[in-house]
Amino acid sequence: MEIVGYGVLADEEPLLRNAFDKTFEGRHELRCLGLFLDRDTAPTALGHEVVLSSVNDTLDAEVLRTLAEGGTRMIAQRSTGYNNIDLTAAEACGLSVARVSSYSPYSVAEFAWMLALAVNRRIVRAAHRTREFDFRLDGLLGRDLHGRIAGVMGTGKIGAAFARIAHGFGMRLLGWDLSENPDCLALGMEYVPRERLLAEADLVSLHVPLSPDTHHLLDSKALALMKDDAILVNSSRGGLVDTDALLETLRAGRLCGVGLDVYEEEAGVFFRDKSLEVMTDERLARLMTFSNVLITSHQAYFTEEAVGQIARTTVANIEDHLAGRAGDNTLVTPRKA
């Protein structure tokens, strides 16, 4: 059987093929495509029982119907998030859906800290200057993070890893979540209401999943609570931050720095080469104009360890499907006739 993967990145493909070869030993073939799955490309999955999707694919009701009509029976999402998949439509179409419920939390936590440190110490601007042999320090003044307050919104595995690094910097920890993580409490984290965290934190890092309840978690009211010189980092999901509200905040001269690895309208932009095109997304283009904003294209998870684990878990999910069983990562099990 041939299995097709969409949105497979060049550095991801060898790890994905290695996981396939070790598990299936030639029983199933893997076809890797760089194109993303959407309404235009869904017909290319014709005849493939299993489809591997990525976080920036669009699996709405129309796409899922096209896949089901073409013989697809399983969607294996190569990410933890699955807000791009209409699970209700998938169930109605008789499709099973699985995801990668967890992978190396250090990949995202370490990257979130890279963003925080880069905007705090003006690393990108400094690097550009020195490449031009401009060795002045004007405009590069940063701040010690030791002794300051880190606000961690979402204290699951990734948030806890972020908190441990903050603790290593000697920062005081404030947390916000539905439940308290004992590992974070052991670090001295104090769980507080969202409003207090935003008002007191010098650094706010987002590590909550995107859901209807967390959509635009940081809207204009929430951003107004933050200190004028606070740092904001989002390495979770773009929809957690209201981009229009963030732009207004930045235009008002507020926030010391913003590090974004995700963007709420990133689908169709991130993971693609847009360098020879006109950027039609005006909000993204405006964000790029602020010298204290650093944007990367959803690469926080992109380490050998994390991508390798994602590949292995994806293969395990396929094994569960072929064996007719639901695993821990199964999101949708087809209705029995």
Active-site hit among 237, 264, 312, 321:
237
Residue 195 is among the residues annotated as catalytic for this protein: no
Fold of 105-295: Rossmann fold (3.40.50)
pTM above 0.85, yes or no: yes
Residue 73 is among the residues annotated as catalytic for this protein: no
Q: What is the pLDDT of residues 288-312, one digit of tens each?
A: 999 999 999 999 999 999 999 999 9
Pairing of strands 96-98, 330-332: antiparallel
CATH 3.40.50.720 range(s) for the chain read 2-103+303-332, 105-295
Residues 285 and 39: their CA atoms lie apart, in Å, by 26
- Which one-letter amino acid corresponds to residue 165? I
Q: What is the pLDDT of residues 41-95, one digit of tens each?
A: 999 999 999 999 998 899 999 999 999 999 999 999 999 989 899 999 999 999 9
Active-site hit among 99, 266, 312, 321:
266
Question: Does the pLDDT at position 336 exceed 80?
Answer: no
Cα–Cα separations (whole angstroms), residue 241 to 105, 155, 214, 233, 316: 21, 18, 9, 10, 33
pLDDT band at 335 (very low <50, low <70, confident <90, very high): low
Picking from 23, 22, 29, 69, the residue whose alpha carbon sits closest to that of residue 52 is 29
Give, as one character, the DSSP assignment of residue 122: T
Give the residue carrying structure tokens 């926080």: 300
pLDDT for res 337 = 42
Q: What is the pLDDT of residues 103-130, one digit of tens each?
A: 999 999 999 999 999 999 999 999 999 9
Active-site hit among 48, 298, 312, 321:
298
DSSP secondary structure string, 129-156? HHHTT----TT------TTSEEEEE--S
Say which CATH superfamily domain 2-103+303-332 falls into.
NAD(P)-binding Rossmann-like Domain (3.40.50.720)
Q: What's the CA angle centered on 274, arms 272 and 279, to 5 degrees?
A: 130
pLDDT for res 72 = 97
Residues 230 and 6: their CA atoms lie apart, in Å, by 38
Residue 237 is among the residues annotated as catalytic for this protein: yes
pLDDT for res 268 = 86
